[in-house]
Amino acid sequence: MVFRLAALAVVFTSIAAYAHASAAPMVVPRGTAIRHDDFIFTVVRAKRSPSFQGDRYSVVVRIDNHALRVPYQWSDSIVFVSDAAGNRYAAQSKGECELPPGASRNVRVDFDLPRGAARPVLHFWDGVLMGDLFDGVAYARVGVRLY
């Protein structure tokens, strides 16, 4: 029985990994809800301002926990920005919070991009949860346009 469950887990994980790797990314406008299992991420606001080395993006993300029993652990490390050249930029902010079931919260995440970083897109990656297996980890292939 344990072997069958382990084999099934490997199959589902392989399918999710293949779906994630083979699907083309989709760029959506701000305000588009992105589902990650029972959790919804929505970029509600993004502000660009000049900084010493390039541009600072301050992004407000609304997190909705639709789970009935499970809290959600948010960390700014869940989001990153990529540019047209394929460069990846981590959040400069280090915020964390826990959302109880049924709760919502806005968080601000800051990114510093160098001059010349074209067409920045915000992405989410927080691993694969059970609900993600049913849609091929679709949330990981969606990016939110910041330009």
146's tokens: 């910041």
Structure confidence by residue, pLDDT tens digits, 23-60: 557 899 999 999 888 899 999 999 999 998 899 999 99
SS3 124: strand
> What average pLDDT is seen over the chain?
85
Question: What's the mean pLDDT in 116-127?
Answer: 90
Confidence of residue 133 (pLDDT cuts 50, 70, 90): low
Share of the chain above pLDDT 90, in %: 65
Q: What integer pLDDT is reported at residue 20 of this predicted model? A: 47
For the ranges 79-83, 111-115, 122-126, 131-135, the lowest mean pLDDT is seen at 131-135
pLDDT in the model for residue 137: 59
Which secondary-structure segment (H or E) carries 77? none
d(CA 15, CA 138): 12
The residue range of the domain holding 125 is 2-145
- Number of folded domains that form the chain: 1
DSSP per residue over 90-136, as a string?
Answer: E-S---EEEE-TT-EEEEEEEEEEETT--S-EEEE-----GGGGGGT
CATH code (residue 59): 2.60.40.1240
How many angstroms separate the CA atoms of 75 and 93, rounded?
Answer: 9
DSSP three-state, residue 6: helix
Q: pLDDT for 4-28, tens place per residue?
A: 666 666 655 555 555 544 455 789 9
Q: Which helix (H) or strand (E) holds 44?
A: strand 39-50
Residues 53-67 have pLDDT tens digits of: 899 999 999 999 999
Number of H helices, E strands in the chain: 1, 11
Residue with tokens 């109880």, as numbered in its chain: 100
Q: Report pLDDT for 21.
A: 47
What pTM does this model have? Answer: 0.79
3-state DSSP assignment of residue 140: helix
Report the DSSP beta bridge partners of residue 64: 40, 104
